[in-house]
């Protein structure tokens, strides 16, 4: 059996209000080519199909288009829900999708048997069993003796996850003896390297699951939730496939992957790099260096590179803030788009209260005196300070005239 393991599609994701629909379409086109070329018979998608529990109509349409494109390749598809997904939303069309040989397990069913998916070969014989375990919510893991303390809740969560996987492994062994088994899961395993775009799960990731608790009942464990592809230290081959496209600027240097298994040879997957459809670029520096680096960017005709700009200056300066805003708003270059910008000052501006003695009363402080003390924090030349002071006095006179 030839299998592809992927996860964390996050359909409908916006990166700082920028849609990633085109990025996902390009991934699906590439994935379809790989499924055809490798003659893959099973596709596993381990959770976080959508980015939002209530995805937009465009995101739902893209989901169904992707499934039909992949289904037409005679490839069995199994999808499980993640912590971003709505159980009811994913499960709503499961009967219709089931007729297309697409299995969807949005949430943990009442009966564990329902997560077992037998996979048949071309001769109609069962060749493999998949325990399609979705993201396990508190209601799936809560027990009567969970305890009231924080530590008790952590222990109960870990024990509940272990129980689900152990029960699924035992059922596979009892109902389908001597057949290879694969488990799917969506959780946070201890020791994993995360990015900015994963949402904390299971008590803020404090209930990190020791992957050795998966046991030895499965031949492979296909995990989702962590967006950087990586292997988990466990008793059997256990891997996060990662997300197929970058979902935050912290993932800009990640090499996105799918994992390919040929079970006739091994359950150690081959890692196949996904092409970079769009680049993310993070540029830091002072005002002059930012301007120079933006000017030096080479033009290109692929998907626009998304840029995060970070202004780094030592002393707070309102004039530099205005120039930085103009730099962002005036930036126009084919193939690039600034989607996020922020400023960092190493010498934090003094708070207003630090300019005065603690015994001084607010009603004794004059507006012009406050303004003079505040502009001391800025690197203005003499002429600029005089112009600012004149403008302030003009505004102050207008306020007094209106009283």
Read off the pLDDT of each residue in 106-131 and give the average, rounded to a whole number: 94
Q: What distance in Å separates the CA atoms of residue 316 and residue 338, rounded to the nearest whole number?
A: 23
Read off the pLDDT of each residue in 218-234 and give the average, rounded to a whole number: 94
**CA-wise closest residue to 133 among 92, 172, 177, 96:** 172
Cα dist. 354→350, 359, 363 in Å?
6, 12, 16
pLDDT exceeds cutoff 60 at 145: no
Q: Which domains does the chain have, with CATH numbers?
A: 2-273 (3.60.21.10), 279-349 (3.30.160), 357-403 (no CATH)
3-state helix, strand, coil in the chain (%, to 5): 35, 25, 40
Confidence of residue 354 (pLDDT cuts 50, 70, 90): low
Do the beta carbons of residue 170 and residue 159 sit within 8 Å?
A: no
Q: CB under 8 Å to 123, separation ≥6 — which residues?
A: none
> Any bridge partners for residue 18, and if so which?
15
256-283: per-residue pLDDT in tens? 999 999 999 999 999 999 999 999 999 9
- pLDDT, residue 138, reads 84
Give the pTM.
Answer: 0.81
In this predicted structure, which of 54-63, 334-343, 384-393 has the lowest mean pLDDT? 384-393
pLDDT exceeds cutoff 60 at 223: yes
* Mean pLDDT estimate for the chain: 87
Chain centroid offset of residue 3 CA: 24
pLDDT exceeds cutoff 60 at 183: yes
β-pairing verdict for 116-120 and 102-105: unpaired
- pLDDT, residue 35, reads 98
More confident position, 378 or 296: 296
Look at phi and psi of residue 313 and say left if phi exceeds 0, alpha if psi is from -120 to 50, else beta: beta
- pLDDT, residue 269, reads 97
Confidence of residue 351 (pLDDT cuts 50, 70, 90): very low
Report the length, in residues, of the chain.
403
Q: CB under 8 Å to 169, separation ≥6 — which residues?
A: 131, 181, 183, 215, 217, 218
Confidence of residue 52 (pLDDT cuts 50, 70, 90): very high
Do the beta carbons of residue 134 and residue 80 sit within 8 Å?
A: yes
Read off the pLDDT of each residue in 360-376 and give the average, rounded to a whole number: 67
pLDDT exceeds cutoff 80 at 377: no
- pLDDT, residue 114, reads 95
Spatial strand order of the sheet with 336-347 comes to 280-285, 305-315, 336-347
Read off the pLDDT of each residue in 129-152 and give the average, rounded to a whole number: 79
Q: CB under 8 Å to 187, separation ≥6 — which residues?
A: 135, 136, 161, 201, 202, 209, 223, 225
pLDDT exceeds cutoff 50 at 299: yes
């Amino acid at each position: 059996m030839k299998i592809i393991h992927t996860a964390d599609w996050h359909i409908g994701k916006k990166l700082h209000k920028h849609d990633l629909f085109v990025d996902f379409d390009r991934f699906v086109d590439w994935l379809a080519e790989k499924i055809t070329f490798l003659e893959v018979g099973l596709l596993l998608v381990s959770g976080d199909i959508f980015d939002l529990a209530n995805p937009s109509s465009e995101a739902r349409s893209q989901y169904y288009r992707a499934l039909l494109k992949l289904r037409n390749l005679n490839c069995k598809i199994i999808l499980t829900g993640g912590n971003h997904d709505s159980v009811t939303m994913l499960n709503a069309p499961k009967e219709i999708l089931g007729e297309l040989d697409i299995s969807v397990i949005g949430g943990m069913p009442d009966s564990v048997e329902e997560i077992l998916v037998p996979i048949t070969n071309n001769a109609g014989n069962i060749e493999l069993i998949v325990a399609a375990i979705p993201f396990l919510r508190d209601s799936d893991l809560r027990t009567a003796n969970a305890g009231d303390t924080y530590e008790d809740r952590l222990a109960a969560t870990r024990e509940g996850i272990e129980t689900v996987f152990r029960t699924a492994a035992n059922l596979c062994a009892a109902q389908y003896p001597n057949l290879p088994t694969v488990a799917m899961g969506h959780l946070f395993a201890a020791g994993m390297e995360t990015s900015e775009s994963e949402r904390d799960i299971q008590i803020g990731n404090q209930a990190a699951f020791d992957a050795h608790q998966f046991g030895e009942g499965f031949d492979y464990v296909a995990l989702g939730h962590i967006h950087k592809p990586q292997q988990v230290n466990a008793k059997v081959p256990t891997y996060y496939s990662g997300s197929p496209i970058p979902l935050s600027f912290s993932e800009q240097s990640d090499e996105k992957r799918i994992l390919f298994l040929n079970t006739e040879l091994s359950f150690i997957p081959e890692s196949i790099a996904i092409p970079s459809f769009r680049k993310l670029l993070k540029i830091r520096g002072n005002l002059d260096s930012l301007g120079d680096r933006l000017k030096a960017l080479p033009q290109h005709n692929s998907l626009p590179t998304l840029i995060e700009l970070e202004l780094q200056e030592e002393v707070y300066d309102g004039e530099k803030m205005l120039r930085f805003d103009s730099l962002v708003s005036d930036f126009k270059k084919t193939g690039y788009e600034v989607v996020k910008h922020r400023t960092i000052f190493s010498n934090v501006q003094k708070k207003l209260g630090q300019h005065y003695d603690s015994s001084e009363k607010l009603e004794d402080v004059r507006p012009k005196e406050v303004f003079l003390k505040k502009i001391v924090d800025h690197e203005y030349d003499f002429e600029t300070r005089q112009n600012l002071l004149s403008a302030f006095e003009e505004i102050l006179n207008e306020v007094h005239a209106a009283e």
